[in-house]
A = this chain, B = another copy of it.
Amino acid sequence: MSEDQNVVYIGRKPVMAYVLAVISYMNTPDAKEVVLKARGRAITTAVDVAEVTRRRFMQKLQIDKINIGTEELTEQDGRKRSVSTIEITLKVKPTP
């Protein structure tokens, strides 16, 4: 299995598109966690996806960790611009 298979990149689609991607990934055999990655304006969508997924659809998921960071992008005209990023890891709750 490739390392990136459990990453869902969040962009400009509606929240539910990504929620469905998370649910279908988590329903594959042996799936234990999924990482939501977003930058810029999509950060809000990533938080929405995490919240909607674990509250409405998969109560067995919990937020394992959240990292924020900065990426340097080069614009078409060559100028550099910094953009904030977020990574939210959702994990199956350990059975007690």
Docked Cα-Cα span, A43 to B38, in Å, equals 12
How many copies of this chain are found per oligomer?
Answer: 2
Residues on B with beta carbons closer than 8 Å to the beta carbon of A82: 51
Residues on B with beta carbons closer than 8 Å to the beta carbon of A17: none
Scoring A residues 36 to 78 as 1 if CB is less than 8 Å from chain B, else 0, what string do you get?
0000110110011011000100000001001111100000000
Cβ of A88 < 8 Å from any Cβ of B?
yes
Known contacts A43-B47, A44-B41; is-contact A68 B84 (Cβ 8 Å)? no
| Chain B min CB distance to A84 (Å) | 4
Known contacts A43-B44, A84-B44, A84-B48; is-contact A63 B68 (Cβ 8 Å)? yes
Q: Which residues of A contact B (CB under 8 A)?
A: 40-41, 43-44, 47-48, 50-51, 55, 63, 66-70, 82, 84, 86, 88
